[in-house]
Chain A
Amino acid sequence: MSSQAELDKLIRSDYEAGFVSAIESDTLPPGLNEDVVRFISQKKGEPEWLLEWRLEAYRKWQAMRLPAWAHIKHPPLDFNEVSYYSAPKSMADGPKSLDEVDPELLRTYEKLGIPLHEQEMLAGVAVDAVFDSVSVGTTFRAKLLEAGVIFCPISEAVHEYPELVKKYLGSVVPQGDNFYAALNSAVFSDGSFVYIPKGVRCPMELSTYFRINEAKTGQFERTLIVADEGSYVSYLEGCTAPVRDENQLHAAVVELVALPGAQIKYSTVQNWYPGDAEGKGGIYNFVTKRGVCHDNAKISWTQVETGSAITWKYPSVVLRGDNAVGEFYSVALTRNKQQADTGTKMIHLGKNTRSTIISKGISAGGSSNAYRGLVRISPRAENARNFTQCDSLLLGDQCGAHTFPYIESRNPSAMVEHEATTSKVSDDQLFLCRSRGIDPEKAVSMIVNGFCKEVFKELPMEFAVEAGKLLEVSLEGAVG
C-alpha cells in the first residue's frame, strides 16, 4: 500500500465522544429577541444590573455584522434557528449536591472519562461540568474554599459574589468587542467563575468540562477567572459534543484577570464533534478568549484543538503592566473538511513586557488550517520582546496551511522575531520508521507528536497524556 493510502486510512477515524444522552430537557424554542434575553435572565433569577447589561449587549449585537475576514467558509448562519437555552429537566429545582444529580448525567460524564464523584476523581483536579446551558456539578468546592479559592458556576457567583462579578465581568472582553462576544454577552447561560485570593497558590488544578447534548442548541458559556495579587492558578478546559448532522453553534467568552504578580495558566483540549468525512455536521466554534496582565503578572494559554467543523479563536493577552509576560502555545489539528483559523494577539502596553508564541498547525485530508496572529507594541512599551514561531505540518496533498502574522511595532527599542516553517510528513521519514519495524500508524503518530513536543511540554501532566492520545485517535487516523 502506498504511504498516501496509509495516511488516508489513518486520517479517517471515528469520533469517540459522539453519543447522545437520553436526558429530558427544558429547551427554549429557536429564535432570538429581547424576550429571550429576559427569559434567560429571569430563569437564573438575575439582578436588574445584569439584565440591563445583557440587553445592552443584545442591542450592540443587533447593530453588528458577521465578521468576514477569517480564512473559513460556511453557509450563512441563521441565528433564529438556534435555541439559546437548554437545561436538563432534573436541574430545574437545582440539586443541592452531587448526590442529587441525575444518574444519567453522571453516566454521561463517566463515559467521557470525567467521573464527578469526588472519591473517584483524579486527586488534585476539581471539575465544573457544564451540560448544554447549565453547570451540573462542581467538585471539591468545600476544600477549595478552605484556601479561600472560589470555584463555582458563574450563575451562582452572580448571587454569592456580586461585587466581584460586577467589577470584572466584561472588563477584559467588553459586550461590544466583536460579533460573537456581543451575542455571548446577551445570552450566556453558564460557565465557571474562579477567584484566587492574594498570595494564594491554588491547591489543585481547576477544570471545566463542557458538553453540548441537546440538538439545535447553541452553547454560550462565559468563564471569568480573577487571580488576585501574587496568586497562581492552573485551569483546564475540555469539550465534546454528540455526532449530529446539523451544525451546532458554540460561542464562548473567557476573561482572565491577572492582577500584579499573579500567574494564570489556562489549558484547553478542544474536541468538539468535527463533522463527518464529507463535512456534514460538526460544531461551529467561535470563541473569544482574552486575558489582562498587570505589573509582573503572567498569562499562559496552551491549547490543543482537534475538534469542531470550524474553529475561530484567538486567545490573547493584553500586557498592560510593566514586566508582564504573555505566552501562547497551540496545536491545531484539522482533517477531513475541518477549517481552523486560530492564533493569538499579544498587545504590549507596559515596559519590558515579553511574549512568546509557539503555534503548530497539522493539516490532513481536505482540511484548511490557518494561523493568524497579531503582535502589537505600543509607543510606551519600552524594551518589549516577542518571539513567534509558526510551524505547519501537512499530511497528504489535499490540505492547506496558511500563516497570517501581523506585526505593529511603534517603539524602536522593541524586538520582534518571527519564524515560520511548513513541512510534510515525508515518505522518507515514514520509510525510515517502517524499515525499523514500526507500523505506519504508530510512525505517523510518533512524527506528529514530535512535531508538537514544544507545546505538549507546556500542558499539565495528565492533560499532556490525554492530548497525545487524542492526537493518536484523531490520526487513526492520522497522528500521535
Chain B
Amino acid sequence: MLDIRNLRATVAGEEILKGLNLSVKPGEVHAIMGPNGSGKSTLTNVLSGRDGYAITGGEALFEGRDLAELEPEERAHAGLFLAFQYPVEIPGVSNLEFLKASLEATRKAQGKEPWDAVTLLRHARETCKQVDLDPQFLKRGVNEGFSGGEKKRNEIMQMLLLQPKLALLDETDSGLDIDALQVVARGVNSLRSPERAIVLVTHYQRLLDYIVPDYVHVLANGRILKSGGKELALELEQRGYGWLTGEEEASA
C-alpha cells in the first residue's frame, strides 16, 4: 500500500531524510519511533504534502501512485489521512461545517454518494460519542478553545468519519492523559481492518500498550536504523536510542 524507496527530503535546504525505506501492506500497523530531530515529523509532512518539504531523491508510492505528484487534497481523496501533532484553530468555522466540506469533497472525489445534512449529523454525533466528545463540539469553531486532549480526539473523530485507507498519526499521544490515551487508542483500533493500514509516529512505548503494532521501526538521522516486532519498542523503552545511534556514551 505504501512503498517508500530511498526517500530523500529537505526542509529549508537542509537534508532531513537521507534514504529512507519503508513498506506498509494493507492490514498492518507500523510504529515509527526515534529520538528528537530524527526526521519523524518530516516524514509525515512529506507524505501528506505540506509546503516547504521538498523530495530530492527516491520516491513514495501510495497504491502505486507517486505521492509527489499529488496535491495535499488529492492525497486525502486517495485515502491518506494525517492526524496532526498540533491541530490548528480555525475561528468561526464550526466543526460541522468543516466536516461537511471535507466529506463532501472527499466522497465526491471517491465517487461516493454525498451525505445529506441529516445523515452527516447522525454520523458526526455517533462519532463524537465514540471519542468521548460532547456533540455540542460540532457547533464550536474548529479546535477553537479546545484543550490539547480535545484537539487530538477531534483529529481521531475526523479520521473515523473519513475512513481513510492509510492513517498517519503524528505523535497523537503527546500531551494526553491516560484516559484520553485510551479513548484515542480505542478510536484507532476500531479503524483496524484487513484493508487499512496505520502508521504511528511516537516518542513513547506507552501508546503501543494500547495500539499494538505489527512492526516497530527506529528512525534516526533520516534513515530507518532498525526494524522489529512489538518487542523492539519495549527494548527501546529500557535502553533508549543510544545503543542504536552510536551515541550511547554521549547520552549516558
Chain B residues with CB under 8 Å of chain A are 48-51, 71-73, 75-77, 81-82, 84, 87-93, 97-98, 101-103, 105-106, 109, 141-142, 158, 162
A-B contact pairs, 11 of them (CB 8 A): A434-B71, A435-B73, A437-B106, A439-B105, A446-B97, A446-B98, A447-B93, A450-B90, A451-B91, A451-B92, A452-B92
Q: Do residues A434 and B92 form an inter-chain contact, with CB atoms below 8 A?
A: no
Check A432/B87 contact, CB under 8 A, given A3-B51, A437-B109: yes
Cα separation A405 to B48 with both chains bound (whole Å): 43
A427 at the interface (CB under 8 A from B): yes
Distance from B32 Cβ to chain A, minimum over Cβ atoms (Å): 18
**Which residue in chain B gives the minimum CB-CB distance to A454?**
B92
Q: Do residues B105 and A437 form an inter-chain contact, with CB atoms below 8 A?
A: yes
Cα separation A446 to B91 with both chains bound (whole Å): 10
Cα separation A439 to B229 with both chains bound (whole Å): 39
Chain A residues whose CB sits within 8 angstroms of the CB of B142 once the complex forms: 432
Cα separation A437 to B149 with both chains bound (whole Å): 24
Check A446/B93 contact, CB under 8 A, given A432-B84, A436-B158: yes
Q: Do residues B92 and A450 form an inter-chain contact, with CB atoms below 8 A?
A: yes
Check A442/B93 contact, CB under 8 A, given A3-B51, A435-B82: no
Q: Do residues B71 and A437 form an inter-chain contact, with CB atoms below 8 A?
A: no
Cα separation A442 to B105 with both chains bound (whole Å): 10
Cα separation A451 to B89 with both chains bound (whole Å): 12
Cα separation A442 to B106 with both chains bound (whole Å): 13
Q: Do residues B49 and A428 form an inter-chain contact, with CB atoms below 8 A?
A: no
Distance from A219 Cβ to chain B, minimum over Cβ atoms (Å): 34
Distance from A426 Cβ to chain B, minimum over Cβ atoms (Å): 7
Chain B residues whose CB sits within 8 angstroms of the CB of A454 once the complex forms: 92
A389 at the interface (CB under 8 A from B): no
Check A428/B93 contact, CB under 8 A, given A3-B51, A435-B72, A437-B106: no
A64 at the interface (CB under 8 A from B): no
Interface size on A, residues (CB 8 A): 27
Q: Do residues A431 and B50 form an inter-chain contact, with CB atoms below 8 A?
A: yes
Cα separation A346 to B142 with both chains bound (whole Å): 34
A2 at the interface (CB under 8 A from B): yes
Q: Do residues B92 and A437 form an inter-chain contact, with CB atoms below 8 A?
A: no
Check A435/B76 contact, CB under 8 A, given A2-B51, A454-B92: yes
**Which residue in chain A gives the minimum CB-CB distance to B75?**
A435
Count, A-B residue pairs, CB within 8 A: 81
Chain B residues whose CB sits within 8 angstroms of the CB of A429 once the complex forms: 88-90
Check A436/B76 contact, CB under 8 A, given A446-B97, A446-B101: yes
Cα separation A432 to B91 with both chains bound (whole Å): 13
Chain A residues whose CB sits within 8 angstroms of the CB of B77 once the complex forms: 437
Mark out the residues of chain A between 396 and 452 whose CB falls within 8 Å of any chain B CB in the assembled complex.
Answer: 426-429, 431-440, 442-443, 446-447, 449-452
Q: Do residues A449 and B101 form an inter-chain contact, with CB atoms below 8 A?
A: no
Cα separation A52 to B71 with both chains bound (whole Å): 67
Distance from B171 Cβ to chain A, minimum over Cβ atoms (Å): 16
**Chain A 444-471 per-residue mask, 1 if CB under 8 angstroms from chain B, else 0:** 0011011111100000000000000000
Cα separation A438 to B75 with both chains bound (whole Å): 11
Q: Do residues A450 and B141 form an inter-chain contact, with CB atoms below 8 A?
A: yes
Chain A residues with CB under 8 Å of chain B are 1-3, 426-429, 431-440, 442-443, 446-447, 449-454
Q: Do residues A436 and B49 form an inter-chain contact, with CB atoms below 8 A?
A: no
Distance from A373 Cβ to chain B, minimum over Cβ atoms (Å): 21
Cα separation A438 to B106 with both chains bound (whole Å): 8
Distance from B146 Cβ to chain A, minimum over Cβ atoms (Å): 13
Chain B residues whose CB sits within 8 angstroms of the CB of A431 once the complex forms: 50-51, 72
Which of B51, B71, B88, B92 contacts A432 (CB under 8 A)? B88
Chain B residues whose CB sits within 8 angstroms of the CB of A449 once the complex forms: 92-93
Q: Do residues B88 and A428 form an inter-chain contact, with CB atoms below 8 A?
A: yes
Q: Do residues A432 and B105 form an inter-chain contact, with CB atoms below 8 A?
A: no
**Which residue in chain A gives the minimum CB-CB distance to B86?**
A428
Q: Do residues A434 and B73 form an inter-chain contact, with CB atoms below 8 A?
A: yes
**Counting chain B CB atoms within 10 Å of each CB, which of A433, A440, A452 scores highest?**
A433
**Counting chain B CB atoms within 10 Å of each CB, which of A437, A440, A451, A452 scores highest?**
A437
**Which residue in chain A gives the minimum CB-CB distance to B144?**
A450
Chain B residues whose CB sits within 8 angstroms of the CB of A426 once the complex forms: 88
**Which residue in chain B gives the minimum CB-CB distance to A427?**
B51
Cα separation A435 to B90 with both chains bound (whole Å): 14
Chain B residues whose CB sits within 8 angstroms of the CB of A451 once the complex forms: 91-92
Distance from B71 Cβ to chain A, minimum over Cβ atoms (Å): 7
Cα separation A434 to B71 with both chains bound (whole Å): 8
Cα separation A1 to B162 with both chains bound (whole Å): 25
Cα separation A134 to B77 with both chains bound (whole Å): 54
Q: Do residues B90 and A447 form an inter-chain contact, with CB atoms below 8 A?
A: yes
**Which residue in chain A gives the minimum CB-CB distance to B93?**
A450
Chain A residues whose CB sits within 8 angstroms of the CB of B97 once the complex forms: 446, 450
Distance from A358 Cβ to chain B, minimum over Cβ atoms (Å): 12
Cα separation A1 to B101 with both chains bound (whole Å): 21
Chain A residues whose CB sits within 8 angstroms of the CB of B162 once the complex forms: 436-437
Cα separation A3 to B88 with both chains bound (whole Å): 16
Chain A residues whose CB sits within 8 angstroms of the CB of B81 once the complex forms: 435
Chain A residues whose CB sits within 8 angstroms of the CB of B89 once the complex forms: 429
**Which residue in chain B gives the minimum CB-CB distance to A1?**
B71
Cα separation A443 to B76 with both chains bound (whole Å): 14
Distance from A431 Cβ to chain B, minimum over Cβ atoms (Å): 5
Chain B residues whose CB sits within 8 angstroms of the CB of A1 once the complex forms: 71
Chain A residues whose CB sits within 8 angstroms of the CB of B102 once the complex forms: 433, 436-438
Q: Do residues A436 and B98 form an inter-chain contact, with CB atoms below 8 A?
A: yes
Cα separation A449 to B141 with both chains bound (whole Å): 12
Chain A residues whose CB sits within 8 angstroms of the CB of B106 once the complex forms: 436-437
Chain A residues whose CB sits within 8 angstroms of the CB of B75 once the complex forms: 435
Distance from B211 Cβ to chain A, minimum over Cβ atoms (Å): 21
Cα separation A437 to B72 with both chains bound (whole Å): 7
Chain B residues whose CB sits within 8 angstroms of the CB of A437 once the complex forms: 73, 76-77, 102-103, 105-106, 109, 162
Distance from B137 Cβ to chain A, minimum over Cβ atoms (Å): 16
Which of A3, A434, A450, A452 contacts B76 (CB under 8 A)? A434
Distance from A423 Cβ to chain B, minimum over Cβ atoms (Å): 8
Given A426-B88, A429-B89, A446-B90: 16 more A-B contacts, CB < 8 Å: A429-B90, A432-B88, A432-B142, A433-B90, A433-B102, A435-B72, A435-B81, A436-B106, A437-B103, A437-B109, A440-B73, A446-B93, A447-B90, A447-B93, A450-B91, A451-B92
Distance from B68 Cβ to chain A, minimum over Cβ atoms (Å): 13
Cα separation A223 to B102 with both chains bound (whole Å): 45
Cα separation A261 to B88 with both chains bound (whole Å): 45
Cα separation A429 to B50 with both chains bound (whole Å): 11
